[in-house]
Amino acid sequence: MSLKDNGKLEMEVHSIQFTGDAVKTVTVDFTTRVKIINGASNTGKSFLVDCLDYMLGKESIDKIEQSKAYSDISLQLSLNSKPFTLFRGFPSKELELYEGHIRNRRSDLHLSDYKVGTLKKGEVNLNDFFMSHWLQRNIKLAKNLSAEKVSLTVRLLSVIICSYEERIINKKSPIESGERDDKTINRNLFNYLLTGSDYSSFEELIKKDKFDGEKSGRKNLLVELIDKLKVDVEYEYENESIKDLKKYQEKVEESISKNKLLLTEAQLSVSEVLNLKKQTSEELIEKNERLNSIKANLNNFEHLIGIYNSDIKRLESQEEAAFLLSVNHNGHCGVCGNKSNNICSDLTDLERLNRASLAEIEKIKRNKLELDLTIGSINKEYKDLVTAVSNLNKTLTEIDVQIAARTPVLQENDLQNSLLMKQYSSYQANIKQLEMIEDLQLKLQKCNSEKLPKKYKSPDFYPTDEVIGEFCEIYSEVLSKIRYPGNKIVTFDFKQYDVLIDGNPRHLNGKGVRAILHSVFKIATLLYCSRKGLFHPKLIILDSPLVTYRDPTESKHGGLSKDEQKLAGTKLSYYFLSYLNEISQIAQFIIIENIDVPDINCDEVSVETFHGENSSARRGLF
């Protein structure tokens, strides 16, 4: 399996600088991809690791005596090839971020301020800086078997980046020996690094105290609701079953159906009579209106006959006068006997008047005759109408008698229907109440039987066998590259969350062997992520990975165990450092050692030695 670089270095440290008002600035440069710092004990090598971790967000640091005169630390680093400088008080929980690699603060290059630990409103955690550049801001890890979530942070990643001396020789799994003593989170971090899949999809399970509280609250609420509903159930039905009430309701429903038929028939019968009454009343009104009209006409006709008679008398008197004036009159004057034109003219007018009067009298008599005939016809109609009106009044009286006889039946049916509907509604309401009570009682029963959801099992969070198999293959490959003795058959023990080499658990080895195998674990994780194109910070800091090669008479770790003695007799230290040079194109390595470093002749490996107090060269970190 060949090395595969994913195109850019995630993080690279360029230098760290310590400053103070009354002291000379101290700098450690990391100019090569593999930087080895070695030397005597008590020269600040391990403290340097602590300071690097401190600049990556560790909340606090215990200063050593030599560091007390220094008040500031600056870290020049690159993220995804972009240069930045972090400044932090020594000690302080606040950090300042600047653009570029600078030795002193410059306001024109200031980018942002960050804080570690508990935040106040408006403050930003240093994680935002790293996680945003690494595109890891929304990654969630499960912190326990209930799948409670925590965000991926640079502090969680410190277990991958920094391996302190006490951690590197620890019997704990290399992935569990981080700053946080939380096996589940660290194991799940390892799973995320190997798979690229976080735990966002895992449903968070409720805790026991919260579960018990919510369960008790639901029970109390259900009991209260049931008691309230029982109050609304009518007394006579409180001991009845829903099944019996539904039977009663069905019987009432049948009675309602039958009564509706009777009511419909009664309504139809009354409706027919009412329609007949309506028709009769309308006819009676019409005939009464006609009678009133005839009465008015007869009065008018009677008045007209009087006018006719008066006119006839007047005309007859007029005709008689004209006749008398013209009798025995020959047109001569009765005094002188002479004939006058005026007299002749008057006689002519009298004759005309006489004829006109007679003609008018005849005309009026004819009209009167016609009027008499009309009056006779109307009088006949009047008599018929009077008879019809009388008959209609009798019919209305008979209809009212029929309505009066049928109304009680209708009213009784209507009343019976109302009583049945009321009873039906009562059954329906009580059935509904009892059904609600029954439903709530079922929920209460279910609530009482509810159990705390079972936690996830550890294997639910494990990487697949295929993934772990590939990781173990890479681990074995690294062992071969550094010429670790044995068959180098690597398997994985999920109980310890660590490797077994040729069937031997890592934690059963001596300190020096545990240290080198811890280092290989971190390197194998890096290689796996690089080859799969998965996220990794691409920075590994190892404190005393080659402790096997210590001087047992001077080292605080004492004598060598048998497996350490066997390893110390090999050139593994040389091959280990050579292999770091070989893979330095995909990551930066900072190695802290107490031993004399084998001569590695390559451009990517540099060695800086802290010689101790009695040397004229660099004595230590400060």
pLDDT tens figures, 488-513: 999 999 999 999 999 999 999 999 99
pLDDT > 70: what percent of the chain?
92
Could you list the beta-strand ranges (E) of 21-165: 23-29, 34-39, 72-79, 82-89, 94-99, 110-115, 140-142, 149-151, 162-163
- Under DSSP, is residue 121 helix (H, G, I), strand (E, B) or coil? coil
**Pair 116, 109: CB distance under 8 Å:** no
For residue 14, what are the CA distances in angstroms to 17, 86, 319, 466? 10, 12, 158, 37
Lowest mean pLDDT among 255-259, 466-470, 516-520: 255-259
Which of 389, 415, 447 terminates a domain? The answer is 447
First-to-final CA distance of the chain: 44
| Angle, alpha carbons 372-374-378 (nearest 5°) | 115
What was the pLDDT predicted at 8? 58
341: confidence class by pLDDT, cuts 50, 70, 90: low
pLDDT at position 197 over 60: yes
pLDDT for the residue numbered 613: 81
Quick one: what percent of the chain has pLDDT higher than 90? 47
Q: Which helix (H) or strand (E) holds 492?
A: strand 490-493
Q: Are residues 248 and 104 in the same domain?
A: no
What's the confidence (pLDDT) of residue 2?
35
Q: Is residue 126 scored above 90 in pLDDT?
A: yes
User: Who wins on pLDDT, 261 or 76?
Assistant: 76
Rounded to an integer, what distance in angstroms lies between the CA atom of residue 535 and that of residue 525?
A: 11
One domain for residues 87 and 158: yes
Amino acid at 71: S
pLDDT tier for residue 271 given thresholds of 50, 70 and 90: confident
pLDDT at 7 over 50: no
Angle, to 10 degrees, between the axis of helix 183-195 and the axis of helix 465-481? 90
Provide the domain count of the chain.
2
For the segment 127-138, what is each residue's pLDDT rounded down to a tens digit?
999 999 999 999
CA distances from 556 to 151, 166, 300, 594 (A): 38, 12, 151, 11
Query: pLDDT at residue 347 above 90?
Result: no
The C-alpha atoms of residue 78 and residue 609 are separated, in whole angstroms, by 25
73, 61 in Cβ contact below 8 A?
no
Domain end, chosen from 447, 477, 496, is at 447
Give the Cα separation of 245 and 253 in Å (integer).
Answer: 12
Long-range CB pairs of 172-176 (<8 Å, 24+ gap) are 172/507, 173/496, 173/497, 173/498, 174/498, 174/518, 174/521, 174/522, 175/497, 175/521, 175/525, 176/497
Locate 174 and state its tokens.
């290399």
Give the chain's mean pLDDT: 87
pLDDT at position 504 is 96
Tokens of 394: 């009798």
Residue 560 in any domain: the answer is yes
Q: Do 378 and 267 share a structural domain?
A: yes
Query: Are 503 and 562 in the same domain?
Result: yes
Please give the order of strands across the beta sheet that includes 490-493.
490-493, 498-501, 504-505
CA dist., res. 145 & res. 458, Å (int): 7
- Cα separation, 505 vs 497, whole angstroms: 10
Distances (CA, A) of 37 to 34, 376, 469, 472, 592: 10, 150, 34, 30, 5
Residues 403 and 437 in one domain: yes
Q: Over 70: is that where the pLDDT of 335 sits?
A: no
CATH code of the domain covering residue 319? 1.10.287.1700
- Closest by CA to 47, choosing from 26, 33, 78, 77, is 26
Q: Are 273 and 417 part of one and the same domain?
A: yes
Statement: residue 5 has pLDDT above 90: no
Mean pLDDT on 344-353 = 74
Residue 2 lies inside a defined structural domain of this protein: no
Q: Name the residue among 77, 52, 47 with its Cα closest to residue 63.
A: 47
The boundaries of the domain holding residue 543 are: 11-205+457-610
Q: Who wins on pLDDT, 354 or 92? A: 92
| Surface-to-core class of residue 549, CB atoms within 10 Å of its CB (0-12 exposed, 13-18 middle, 19+ buried) | buried
More confidently predicted of 346 and 116: 116
* Closest to 86 in 3D by CA, of 133, 152, 43, 135: 133
For residue 4, the model assigns a pLDDT of: 40
Whole-prediction pTM: 0.68
Are 115 and 21 part of one and the same domain? Answer: yes
What is the reported pLDDT for 308? 79
Question: Are residue 295 and residue 355 in the same domain, yes or no?
Answer: yes
Is 291 part of any domain? yes
Q: What amino acid is encoded at 315 in this protein?
A: L
Lowest mean per-residue pLDDT among 96-100, 256-260, 338-342: 338-342
Q: Is residue 196 part of a domain?
A: yes
Q: What is the pLDDT of residue 302?
A: 84
339 vs 442: which has the higher pLDDT? 442
Whether residue 182 is found in the same domain as residue 259: no
CATH number, domain containing residue 81: 3.40.50.300
Does the pLDDT value for residue 144 go beyond 70?
A: yes
Q: What is the pLDDT of residue 1?
A: 33
Q: Which of 99, 107, 95 is nearest to 82 (CA)?
A: 99
Q: Are 453 and 495 in contact (CB under 8 A)?
A: no
Q: Which helix (H) or strand (E) holds 18?
A: strand 11-20
**616 assigned to some structural domain:** no
C-alpha span between 207 and 146 (Å, rounded): 7
- Rounded to the nearest angstrom, the gap between the alpha carbon of residue 622 and the centroid of all alpha carbons in its chain is 58
Distance, in Å, from the CA atom of 391 to the CA atom of 284, rounded to the nearest integer, reads 9
Q: What tokens appear for 441 in the block?
A: 């009682």
Whether residue 282 is found in the same domain as residue 384 = yes
Contact between 37 and 545 under an 8 Å Cβ cutoff? The reply is: no
Q: DSSP secondary-structure letter at 539? A: E
* Choice between 433 and 103, residue whose per-residue pLDDT is larger: 103
Weakest-pLDDT range from 232-236, 242-246, 539-543: 232-236
Question: For residue 3, what pLDDT is reported?
Answer: 38
Residues 512-521, mean pLDDT to the nearest whole number: 95
Q: Are 453 and 541 in contact (CB under 8 A)?
A: no
Q: Give which of 577, 579, 604, 491 is closest to 527, Cα–Cα.
A: 579
- Place 9 in a pLDDT band, splitting at 50, 70 and 90: low
Query: Is 269 a residue whose pLDDT tops 90?
Result: no
pLDDT score of 331 more than 80: no
Q: What is the dihedral of CA 494, 495, 496, 500, to 10 degrees?
A: -60
**Element at 400 (helix H, strand E):** helix 341-449
One domain for residues 416 and 485 = no
Does residue 289 lie within any of the structural domains?
A: yes
User: In this predicted model, what pLDDT tens digit does every residue of 25-70 receive, in sequence order?
Assistant: 999 999 899 999 998 888 999 999 999 999 999 999 999 999 999 9
* 619 assigned to some structural domain: no
Tell me the two tokens of residue 337.
């006997």
**Residue at which a domain ends, from 427, 447, 467:** 447
The residue that leads in pLDDT, 579 or 369, is 579
Residues 370 and 246 in one domain: yes
pLDDT at 342 > cutoff 80: no
Q: What is the pLDDT of residues 304-330, one digit of tens each?
A: 888 878 888 888 887 787 777 766 555
Helix, strand, coil share of the chain (percent; to 5)? 55, 15, 30
Scanning 76-199, the segments in alpha helix (DSSP H) are 126-133, 154-161, 165-168, 183-195
In a domain, 218, yes or no: no
| Contact between 605 and 597 (Cβ < 8 Å) | no
